[in-house]
Amino acid sequence: MANYPFKEVETKWQKYWADNDAYKVSESNKPKYYMLEMFPYPSGKIHMGHVRNYSIGDVVARFKKMQGFNVLHPMGWDAFGLPAENAAIKHGIHPDIWTKKNIEEMKQQLNTLGLSYDWEREVSTCSEDYYKWTQWLFIEFYKKGLAYKKESRVNWCTSCETVLANEQVIGGLCERCDSKVIKKMLNQWFFKITDYAEELLKDIEDLDGWPEKVKIMQSNWIGKSTGAEIDFPIDNSDKVLKVFTTRPDTIFGATYMVLAPEHPYVEEMVKGTEYEERVNEIIAKLQHMSDIERTSTDMEKEGAFIGQYCINPISGKKIPIYIANYVLIDYGTGAIMAVPGHDQRDLEFARKYNIEVIPVIKPEAEEEFEIKNEAFAKDGIMINSGKFNGLKNDAAYGEICKLLEEKQVGKKTTSYRLRDWLLSRQRYWGTPIPIIYCDDCGSVPVDEKDLPVTLPTDIKFTGTGLSPLTTSESFLHAKCPKCGKEGRRETDTMDTFVDSSWYFLRYTDSKNSNKPFDKANADYWMKVDQYIGGVEHAILHLLYARFFTKVINDLGLTTVNEPFENLLTQGMLLKDGAKMSKSKGNVVSPEEIIEKYGADTARLFVLFAAPPERDLEWSDQGVEGCFRFLNRVWRIVIEAKENNLYNKKASVESKNHKDLKYNIHYTIKRVTEDIEERFNFNTAISAIMELVNELYKYKENDEIDGELLREGINTVIVLLAPFAPHIVEELWSYSLEGGSVHQVSWPKYQKQAIVKDEAEVVIQVNGKLKDKIIIPTGISKEELEAIALSSDKIKGFIEGKKIIKVITVPNKLVNIVVK
Ligand code: ANZ
Ligand code: ZN
C-alpha cells in the first residue's frame, strides 16, 4: 500500500481548524489552563529547536483541553532587537519591514506544524499597541522610584563608539571590529531590581514546579551574603574605609586592606605621590578585563601598596592599604579587609607581596598550627585574637559583631550580587524610553494621553555611539509635559528584555486599548500553568519576568505575585553528538522534514526520541520509524472499515478478548500518567505503539469482537491526538465517528479491565515460607485453604502433625499452624 497522503491530510485539517476558529478561547467559568512557550525572535525561519519546544507545548495544550480545561495557548513575537537593525544597516531594509516579513513567514511555518494557537491573541513587541503599554509600565515604575538614571561604567568600543554588553567584549576587544574596549562613564537608565532582591530570593522556595537547577542559578545570581560592614579609620586622616566582610570573626587576622583600583579614594590618596604611576598602570591593565575574569581563582593576583595605612578598629593594629585586581568596585563597598590566613585569594596576594599572614582560627584537634599554601576556611577555635581566644569561631562571630556595634564602628549587614538592571540601549529598534528633558523641570515622563512615543522613520544609522534617534529632528523636539517649554526627548531605547518581561500578561487581554490588560482577565488566566523554553533563559529572562510580575502586583494591576507555576527547560537538539547549529553546518531544517514526511511525523519524532528535558540526538532512522508507525495506524483503520471488521461478533468469551480489553485500558492509564505526571511523551508514545501491535495481532484471530476492535482503534486515535493532530482528524472522520477528535473527552480507563484476574499466594507453615501458588482471584476462603492444604510440597510439611489453625488472607497468603 502507498504511504498515507500526509500532504492533503495536513493542509485539509489546518484549513478546517482556521475556518472554524478551533483554538479560539475566551474567559469562562470553566477551570483554566494557561500553556505558554517562550515566544521567538522573528529571525525569519523556524528551526528544529522551535519545533521541539512548540510540539511539547502543543501536546500539553491539547491534552488539557481534552481533559475539559479552558486552555489559553497563545503565540507572539519578541520582535525588537539588534538583528533587524543590522539587516537595515547592511541591506538598507527598514527594520520594521524586515521584521514584519519575517513574522509572516514564521507564522506560516508554525501553522504547517498544526499548533493549536489562538492567533487572535498574537502580540508583537514592536507594534505600537504593545510598546505603548511597555512605555506605560516604564512610567509607572518611574513614578514608584523603580526607574532611575545614573552615571555608570560601561564597556565602550573606541572604534565603533558604542556601548557593548559584557558578552560582546572578547579578551578586552570589541567582538565586531577587534578594537580596544575601554570603560566609560555614561548616564544610563536602570530598573531598581535590587529593591526586590530579598523577595525574589525568598519566593524561589515556593517554586515547586521549577527545576532545581534553575532555582539554584537564580539564587546564585541574586547572591545573598550575610556579614558585617566595618569602618577602618585611615591613619593620619579623618576618613574611614568601609569594608564588607562575611567573616567578622577573622578581624584580628586582617593584615592589609584592599581597595578596588576604581575606588574614589585611590586617586585622592596617590595623586602627586611616588605611587601614582604604578597605580595608573594597574588601572589601565584592568580596563580590558571582565569582572568574571578578575575574580576567577586562576587569575594571577596583582596590585600595589598606595602609601597609606588603616587602623584595625578592634585590635588597634596599623595595616597597609593596597589596590588589587581581584577586588571589584561594585560589590559590597568596593573595599575589603584582607585576611590571608583564611581567604585563599588574600593568601596568594600576601605571599606574592610578602605581607604578614596571621592565623586566627585553628582546627579544634591540632595544637601546632601553621598556614602553608592553603588558607584555612573551616570552623575552629579562635587564636591570636585577644580576649576572644579559645572561643569557637561561630561564637566569636556574634561577640565581635556585638563589640563592633557597641563601639559604633560596624554592624551586621546583608549584601547581594544582584545589580540594578541597566536598560538603556543606544539603539533604534527598541521601545523608546518615554521621558522628556526640560531645562526647568528636569526629567519628565510623557503624559499617558501622548503614548505611545512612536519610533520615527526619518533616522540615520550613525555608526557612532549615539542612538540613531538623535538624528531625527521630528523626534528630538517635544514640549515639556509639565511646563510646556521646548524640551528634548530621551533618545535611548529599552533593552528587549523589558518587552519580554510582561508579554504573558498581555496575552490575557491582548486587544485592550485602554490599559495593558484587564485585571479580571489577568486574574482568571494567571499564573501561566506551564512555561516551556530554553535553559539559556534560566537566569535573566525569568528573573526579570518575576520582577515585573511583583512590581505589577504592587501596582495593584494583578493579584498574582509569581508568573510561572511550572517551568520546563527543554534539552538541546544534537546531531552527530554536537549541538545543531548553523555554524557547525549540521542543521536539519523543519521544512525539509515536513516536506518529506509531514508535520505529524516531525512532531512525533521530536517527542518520541527523548524526554523533554533531555538532549535529543537527531536520527534519520528515528524519523523513518515514526513515519512507518503513522502509516501502520493509517492502514489498520482503513482495513477495519473496508473489511467490515467492526461488524464481526464473537461467539465465545475468549482470553484474547480479555487480554485486548486489558491492553486498551492499561494503555489509557499509562499514557495519561506519562503525560500528566511526568511529561514522558516518549514512553507515552511507545505505549500507543504497543497497543497498535496488539490490535494487529488481535484482528488476525479467527473470532474477533468488532466492537472491541473498534474500541481499541478509537482509543489509539484519541490517545494519539495531542501528538499527531492531523492524521487523527482524518481517521476519525473516515471512521464516521463524528465531529473533531480534538473535541473528544480524554478517555478514562476502566478499573475492572486492568485488574489482573490471577494472584500469587504465599503458603507458610508456622510462619515460614514453604510454597507459592497461582490462583484465580475471587475464589472463596474455603476454596483457597483447600488448594493450599492439597499442595504436594505442603503435604510433606504437615503430614503426621496436628493442624491448630489456618490463617488466610485472600489473594495473598495462607499460614498453616501445626504442632
Ligand atoms: C574578610 C574575609 C575573611 C573574607 C575570610 C572572606 C574570608 P561573598 O561570600 O561572595 O559575599 N569581598 C568583599 N567585597 C569584595 C569585592 N568588592 N571584591 C572582591 N572581594 C570582596 O564574599 C564576601 C567576601 O569577599 C568578603 O569577606 C570579602 O572578603 C570579599 F576568611 O572579608 B571577606
Ligand atoms: Zn518643564
Query: Which tens digit of pLDDT belongs to each residue from 295-346?
Result: 777 788 999 999 999 999 999 999 999 999 999 988 899 999 999 999 999 9
Residue nearest to atom 20 of ligand 1 (CA): 327
Single out the residue of 326, 357, 353, 356 nearest to residue 341, CA to CA. 357
> In this model, does residue 580 exceed pLDDT 70?
yes
What span, in angstroms and rounded, lies between the C-alpha atoms of 200 and 196?
A: 6
Instruction: Give per-residue pLDDT as tens, 80-111.
Output: 998 888 888 888 889 999 999 999 999 999 99
Contact assessment for residue 742 and residue 729, using Cβ atoms and an 8 Å cutoff = yes
What mean pLDDT is predicted for residues 595-613?
96
Q: Is the ipTM of this complex over 0.90?
A: yes
With cut-offs at 50, 70 and 90, classify the pLDDT of residue 165.
low
Q: Whole-angstrom Cα distance, residue 33 to residue 70?
A: 6
Residue of minimum CA distance from atom 25 in ligand 1: 245
What are the Cα distances from residue 11, in Å, to 5, 83, 594, 599, 729? 10, 32, 12, 10, 12
Q: Which ligand is nearest to the CA of 301?
A: 1
Q: 221, 297, 343: which to mutate for ligand 1, most atoms within 8 A of CB?
A: 343
| Cα–Cα distance for residue pair 348/256, rounded to 1 Å | 13
Q: Residue 1 has what pLDDT?
A: 60
- Residue of 153, 243, 247 best suited for mutating to test ligand 1, as the one with most atoms within 8 Å of CB: 247
pLDDT, tens only, 519-535: 999 999 999 999 999 98
Evaluate if residue 464 carries a pLDDT over 90.
no
Span 26-78, pLDDT tens digits: 999 999 999 999 999 999 899 999 999 999 999 999 999 999 999 999 999 99
Domain boundaries, the chain: 6-139+497-584, 224-416, 431-485, 636-754, 758-818
Looking at 168-172, 277-281, 357-361, 498-502, which range is the least confident one?
168-172
Q: What percentage of the chain carries pLDDT values higher than 90? A: 77
* For the CA of 444, the nearest ligand: 2
Dist. CA 447 → ligand 2 center (Å): 13
Least confident window among 58-67, 85-94, 539-548, 719-728 = 85-94
Length of the chain: 819
For strands 528-534 and 32-37, give the pairing: parallel
- Residue with CA closest to ligand 1 atom 1: 245
When mean pLDDT is compared across 36-40, 51-55, 417-421, 605-609, the lowest value belongs to 417-421
The CATH H-level (homologous superfamily) assignment of domain 636-754 is Isoleucyl-tRNA Synthetase; Domain 1 (1.10.730.10)
Q: Say if residues 47 and 589 touch (Cβ distance below 8 Å).
A: yes
pLDDT score for 712: 97
C-alpha cell at 141: 515604575
The pLDDT tens digits of the residues spanning 777-810 come to 878 888 888 888 888 889 888 888 899 999 998 8
Separation of CA 336 and ligand 1 centre (Å): 7
Q: Inform me whether the pLDDT recorded for 641 exceeds 90.
A: yes
Q: Which of 210, 805, 280 is nearest to 564 (CA)?
A: 210
751 is in an annotated binding site: no
In the reported structure, the alpha carbon of residue 415 is separated from the centroid of ligand 1 by a whole-number distance in angstroms of 10
Q: What are phi and psi of 695, to 5 degrees?
A: -65, -40
794 and 763 Cβ atoms separated by less than 8 Å: yes
Element (H, E) at 600: helix 599-608
Q: What ligand has the least distance to the C-alpha of 347?
A: 1
Residue 626 half-sphere exposure, CB side, CA atoms within 13 Å? 27
- Least confident stretch, 176-180, 407-411, 676-680, 728-732: 176-180
Nearest CA to ligand 1 atom 18: 327
Assess if CATH 3.40.30.10 describes domain 758-818: no
The set of cell numbers assigned to 255 is 593584615
Mean pLDDT for the stretch of residues 697-710: 93
**Ligand 1: residues within 6 Å at CB?**
225, 244-247, 250, 260, 326-328, 331-332, 334, 336-337, 339, 342-343, 415
Cell representation of residue 48: 528544529
Distance CA 45, CA 57 (A): 19
b/e 58-95 (16+ beta carbons within 10 angstroms → b): bbbbbbbbbbebbbbbbbbbbbbbebbbebbeeeeeeb
CATH topology for 224-416? Answer: Isoleucyl-tRNA Synthetase; domain 2 (3.90.740)
The fold of the 6-139+497-584 domain, in CATH, is Rossmann fold (3.40.50)
- Ion ligand 2 — residues with CB under 5 Å? 438, 440-441, 480, 482-483, 485
* pLDDT averaged over every residue in the chain: 93
Q: 140 C-alpha to center of ligand 2: Å?
A: 20
Q: From the CA of 330, give the closest atom in ligand 1.
A: 17
